[in-house]
Amino acid sequence: MLKITLKDGQVREYEAGTKLLEIAKDISPRLGKEVLVGAIDKELRDLDCQPEGDKDINFYTFEDDEGKRVFRHSSSHVMAQAVKRLFPGTKLAIGPAIEEGYYYDFDSQKPFTAEDLEKIEKEMEAIIKEDLPFKRFELSREEALKLFSEIEEPYKVELINDLPLDAVISCYSQGEFTDLCVGPHLPSTGRLKAVKLLSVAGAYWRGDERNKMLQRIYGTSFPEKSKLDEYLFRIEEAKKRDHRRLGIDLDLFSIQEEGPGFPFFHPKGMVLRNELEKFWREEHKKRGYQEIRTPVILNRSLWEQSGHWDHYRENMYFTKIDQADYAVKPMNCPGGILVYRSRLHSYRDLPIRMAELGLVHRHELSGVLHGLMRVRCFTQDDAHIFMLPGQVKNEIIGVIDLVHDFYKIFNFPYHVELSTKPENSIGSDEIWDLATTALKEALEEKGIGYKINEGDGAFYGPKIDFHLEDCLGRTWQCGTIQLDFIMPEMFKLTYVGDDGVKHQPVMLHRVVFGSIERFIGILTEHFAGAFPLWLAPVQARVLPIARRHLEYAGKVKDVLDEKGFRVELDDRNEKVNFKIREAQLQKIPYMLVVGDREAEGGQVSVRNRQLGDLGGMALGEFVLKIQEEVNIKALSPLLNA
């Protein structure tokens, strides 16, 4: 008999040879219909697998990340099969599942066009109707090399040659199509329902610009057409909200040919940036942070001591000064450490919370640059907290609360991931275990659920990552808390304890916005450029109806200027409806129309970009209302309240 333990702790017995799919159907008819992949002792397996002995069994549907990955990886195989049917000379590279979809890299004899994507998509639909079973088989290294050499797939041969000599190699076939793959896959192509090919782009083989440029076709897939339609709607909405286009339309920033990856902020973009930084400074001052500023360029010996020279050098820029090697900083932490080390500290001084809006530079390949989201220079809203071992949990909780309060201002929901020790780490397992446990305990004390992200910590310590969700349901990793026992040791940091002896402090690295530039990009897309009043580069525009109203319009502007509002006067000799449309396109929160009646009564006729015409209002009353809207950092106008 086969004895299995389900994830709810329930134990069931089945006859030997029972397949995972049969077990799923026995547990629940609905599960049997929706299940996409199983797991035996946490290892994902095909549903025709037959477990033996006492096992822990889990099942995953499209609602689970594991199920989505298998569903979309199977979709990439179907896409590759369709391409091979339509374009037989095409060579296959790799085709993984990615977030919200999948891609496959091809070496094709001709560039794929939009018309080709339509043909491939139709062929995929035909393959889905054929309901071909995904069949797994295993080969020795020699057998696999023979097979993929015979079918002329040189990229697969190269991948096989990189495997150990004694490796057992798995492959999958559906119909006439065979691919090198570790799996698992869906039971058959018929389980796919709704597929869509989205775009084609260039991609270097194995991500190396020295290798051949391949063609990468991106696609997505869902178990229901309605879900695909929802996704495509979000894609179209995202295009309308693209911060790169809005950055130009609203004159916020630009990327110039003379500095690819190095954004230029224009006057209106600087207003937005300065308001965010002002908010950041106010909130940090309340919580006992002290602001510092450290140099952009520091010498090689510092980066060797911090470990960046060995672990991060490929992402850094270098220069020489007086024949000595220097590096442009990719991170702010070594500079913060030097500030701490510049004087002797007592245990009574700790915790010391040093905050820095620090400009950093990181080398990124040109192909991954993307507006403000992926740049080569950016400002991290860094802070480094130096503390006693007994203060660790409270300081972590303090940062968690700070991040929560920041995201609440923008009404961003978020989820948390805990990233553990990576392969290229420094420090002992004992130190890593101690740091990881401290982060877990702080999250658990706050009652915050989290997902473990194995092996994705910084090279010097584990971290908590905050992934915020925008209005389109997209997630962005922004805030980070990294606990570090290692750099204080590497830099021989000390404090004098109550026993009069020097001890080593613990260090916390953290950001809230993450990158000011990237956060502005996220906000621009989240609000579609219609920023809340407190952030809007122009908060109000005064629109005189005729030339004779210019004098009163100027007085209205002066009153708002004196109260500290950002206001413009549209004194062009144009019709007022034209001026209103222009202000709407610029996403200005308030338009103040003034004519004879307003001038005589000391009023303004108020229009809001969301609510439309709000009618006449005394100028003083309007000022009080929008002052309150700014003070509480409201996301919606208060004038209709």
Instruction: Read off the CATH number of the domain in which 31 is found.
Output: 3.10.20.30
pLDDT at site 556: 97
Q: Is there a domain that residue 129 lies in? A: yes
265 and 226 in a single domain? The answer is no
Q: What is the pLDDT confidence band of residue 207, given thresholds at 50, 70 and 90?
A: confident
Q: What is the pLDDT confidence band of residue 167, given thresholds at 50, 70 and 90?
A: confident
- pLDDT higher than 70, residue 239: yes
Give 106-141 as a DSSP string.
EE-SS---HHHHHHHHHHHHHHHHHTPBPEEEEEEH
Residues 6 or more apart whose Cβ sits within 8 Å of residue 157: 145, 148, 149
Question: Of residues 81, 174, 215, 380, which has the active-site annotation?
Answer: 380
Do 180 and 145 meet the contact criterion of CB atoms below 8 Å apart? Answer: no
pLDDT at site 231: 92
Euclidean distance between CA atoms 546 and 325, whole angstroms: 65
Encode 69-78: b = buried (16+ Cβ within 10 Å), e = exposed.
Answer: bbbbbbbbbb
* 16 exposure class (CB count in 10 Å sphere: 0-12, 13-18, 19+): exposed
Euclidean distance between CA atoms 368 and 591, whole angstroms: 40
471 part of the active site = no
Specify the CATH number for the domain of residue 605. 3.40.50.800
383 and 286 in a single domain? The answer is yes
- pLDDT higher than 90, residue 158: yes
446 and 474 in a single domain? The answer is yes
Closest by CA to 419, choosing from 397, 443, 402, is: 443
What do you get for the CA distance between the two ends of the chain, in Å? Answer: 68
Q: Is there a domain that residue 322 lies in? A: no
- Pick the more confident residue, 312 or 104: 104
Domain boundary among 526, 561, 593: 526
pLDDT at site 69: 96
Which run of H or of E encompasses 617?
strand 612-618
Bridge-based pairing of strands 352-361 and 290-291 is parallel
Euclidean distance between CA atoms 607 and 593, whole angstroms: 8
* Tokens describing residue 263: 């954004």
Q: Is there a domain that residue 89 lies in? A: yes
Euclidean distance between CA atoms 186 and 193, whole angstroms: 12
- pLDDT higher than 90, residue 425: no
Q: What is the pLDDT confidence band of residue 641, given thresholds at 50, 70 and 90?
A: low
* 504 exposure class (CB count in 10 Å sphere: 0-12, 13-18, 19+): middle
Q: DSSP class of residue 389?
A: G
Average pLDDT on 553-581 reads: 96
Q: Is there a domain that residue 125 lies in? A: yes
384 part of the active site = yes
Which of 179-183, 426-430, 435-439 has the highest mean predicted lDDT (pLDDT)?
A: 179-183
Question: Of residues 49, 181, 333, 377, which has the active-site annotation?
Answer: 333
Do 605 and 594 meet the contact criterion of CB atoms below 8 Å apart? Answer: yes
382 part of the active site = yes
The torsion defined by the Cα of 387, 391, 394 and 397, in degrees rounded to 10, comes to 40
β-bridge mates for residue 592, sequence order: 542, 606
557 part of the active site = no
Q: DSSP class of residue 9?
A: S
Euclidean distance between CA atoms 184 and 15, whole angstroms: 23
Euclidean distance between CA atoms 319 and 438, whole angstroms: 39
Q: Note the maximum CA span of the chain.
A: 95
609 part of the active site = no
Closest by CA to 544, choosing from 593, 615, 609, is: 593
Helix and strand numbers, DSSP H then E, in the chain: 20, 33
Residue-wise pLDDT for 540-552, tens only, equals 999 999 999 999 9
* Tokens describing residue 188: 């058959």
Q: DSSP class of residue 391?
A: G
22 and 142 in a single domain? The answer is no
Specify the CATH number for the domain of residue 206. 3.30.980.10
Question: Of residues 46, 382, 465, 484, which has the active-site annotation?
Answer: 382
Euclidean distance between CA atoms 164 and 507, whole angstroms: 41
Residue-wise pLDDT for 500-534, tens only, equals 999 999 999 999 999 999 999 999 999 999 999 99
Residue-wise pLDDT for 396-415, tens only, equals 999 999 999 999 999 999 99
Residue 90: domain span = 70-234
Do 584 and 609 meet the contact criterion of CB atoms below 8 Å apart? Answer: yes
What does each C-alpha distance from 530 to 180, 410, 533, 535, 634 come to in angstroms? 48, 13, 9, 9, 13
Euclidean distance between CA atoms 194 and 192, whole angstroms: 6
Q: Is there a domain that residue 17 lies in? A: yes
225 and 267 in a single domain? The answer is no
Which run of H or of E encompasses 451?
strand 450-453
pLDDT at site 10: 76
Q: Is there a domain that residue 323 lies in? A: no
Average pLDDT on 229-254 reads: 94
pLDDT at site 7: 67
380 part of the active site = yes
492 part of the active site = no
Do 513 and 280 meet the contact criterion of CB atoms below 8 Å apart? Answer: yes
56 and 182 in a single domain? The answer is no
Q: Name residue, tokens 């023979």.
A: 146
209 and 94 in a single domain? The answer is yes
Question: Of residues 156, 384, 609, 625, which has the active-site annotation?
Answer: 384
- Portion of the chain with pLDDT greater than 90, in percent: 84
Average pLDDT on 134-147 reads: 95
Can you list the positions of beta strands (E) in 311-393? 317-321, 324-328, 352-361, 377-387
Euclidean distance between CA atoms 360 and 382, whole angstroms: 11
SS (H, E, C) 490-556: HCCCCEECCCCCEECCEEEEEEEEEEHHHHHHHHHHHCCCCCCCCCCCCCEEEEECCHHHHHHHHHH
Closest by CA to 238, choosing from 635, 530, 522, is: 522
Q: Is there a domain that residue 248 lies in? A: no
Cβ neighbours of 169 (radius 10 Å): 22
Output the average pLDDT for the chain. Answer: 94
Q: Is there a domain that residue 310 lies in? A: no
Residues 6 or more apart whose Cβ sits within 8 Å of residue 323: none
345 and 481 in a single domain? The answer is yes
206 and 271 in a single domain? The answer is no
Do 548 and 573 meet the contact criterion of CB atoms below 8 Å apart? Answer: no
Question: Of residues 68, 73, 185, 509, which has the active-site annotation?
Answer: 509
Euclidean distance between CA atoms 24 and 33, whole angstroms: 9
Question: Of residues 45, 77, 329, 463, which has the active-site annotation?
Answer: 463
Average pLDDT on 51-59 reads: 82
| Domain count within the chain | 4
219 and 108 in a single domain? The answer is yes
Average pLDDT on 427-446 reads: 90
What does each C-alpha distance from 131 to 126, 192, 197, 469 come to in angstroms? 9, 9, 20, 36
Q: What is the pLDDT confidence band of residue 453, given thresholds at 50, 70 and 90?
A: confident
- Pick the more confident residue, 432 or 519: 519
461 and 577 in a single domain? The answer is no
149 and 274 in a single domain? The answer is no
Question: Of residues 362, 421, 579, 625, which has the active-site annotation?
Answer: 362
pLDDT at site 470: 92
Domain boundary among 36, 61, 86: 61
